[in-house]
Amino acid sequence: MDLFQKTEGEHLWDIIQKNNIYPYFHELRSGQDTIVDMEGIRTVMIGSNNYLGLTSHPDVIAAGVEAIKQYGSGCSGSRFLNGTLDIHVKLEKELAEFLHKEACVTFSTGFQSNLGIISAIAGRNDVILCDKENHASIYDGCRLSYAKLIRYEHSDMEDLEAKLKEVPDDKGILIVTDGVFSMSGEICKLPEIVKLAKKYGARTMVDDAHGLGVLGAHGRGTAEYFGLEDQVDIYMGTFSKSLASLGGYMASTKKVVEYVKHTSRPYIFSASITPASVATARAALKILREHPERPKALLDISAYMREGLKKLGVKVIDANTPIISILVYDDEKAFVACKMLLERGVYVNSSVSPAVPVGQALLRTSYTATHTKEQMDYAMKQIKEVLDILGVK
């Protein structure tokens, strides 16, 4: 059989392109902000993860420009060999200090962080307990590790404990969970997870990609939100969201970090983060540390939008984060809604099967600390009108 046979025929993307409701790969003609130019349309952006609004902050931009002038455009090698700059080390120290951990290591992307951490820390004699709604990068990291993967029902602590009971005593156990689940915006049940981890001798890892800069009095994430910063063994996160850059990190004990640095194939065999990305992440982290009011502003504007949508009768998944997912149920209606909203100057993301269960299609919206109430009022009005036109109740 020809390897490329699977590429032939008509796929879903072909059909929705033909029907002019293709919601992907829209071209931006401006930087990420609360208002963007998307294919010539002035658009309220409620579909990015620019949570703190720092991608356009002058200090962040200036830091990136200066880093390119000093270090050039790239590192031309892995951290393991010639690709470690002094600013890589400074960023790792600053992150470790901010997150109250002994040490930190950075990766080239958030996705690669999960691949690199999980595949290094878990092996053939280990078992990974994974929430069914964890991010795809977690699942791929589990596969790369060769550990036995056991999925537990989403945020179902009874199911997690039942599965923990079945793990033999001679196996190492890792419980890994999103801090904030990227599709629903729900926060994980971290207090129950760490309690079960202690009971069954497991280690815990929290993917805080959507928690850093969002949750906690200082924006340190899910563990700070619950007062459990000393109870989580491994933090993972990204720079591409609150920190307005590109890259990812792991924070843990010095021993764990050193082990990962010397055994993780995705880390050892990848080029290091570019100078501009390091510098912009550092600048964003500095702003977060000095301005903890930004995460509060983010949660306030998100709550304003959530309550406004509810008052209009729009069905949303209830959560207390900047991710507000609107139930439209039908995949085609999700695609059509995205198109109609963009034409009205509002950008949202469609989430359809298999990213969500069949019949549970969503419009995934997400918010920025610098959004205004006027922008939110406009966006919620357009959302309500489009859903009414499509008959979504």
| List 88, 210, 333, 339, catalytic entry | 210
Beta strands (DSSP E) in the chain are 35-38, 41-45, 103-107, 126-131, 148-152, 172-178, 203-207, 234-238, 248-252, 323-329, 346-347, 349-351, 361-366
Residues 363/315, Cβ–Cβ less than 8 Å: no
| List 108, 113, 119, 182, catalytic entry | 182
Q: Is there a catalytic annotation at residue 241?
A: yes
| List 163, 241, 333, 371, catalytic entry | 241
Give me the helices (H) in 19-156, please. Answer: 58-71, 86-98, 110-121, 136-145
Amino acid code (one letter) for 183? M
**Mapping DSSP to helix (H, G, I), strand (E, B) and coil, where does residue 320 land?**
coil
How many other C-beta atoms lie within 10 A of the C-beta of residue 161? Answer: 16
- What whole-number distance in Å separates Cα of residue 268 and Cα of residue 263? 8
Tell me the backbone φ, ψ of residue 208, rounded to 5 degrees.
-105, 35
Count of residues in the chain = 393
Catalytic residues: 182, 210, 241
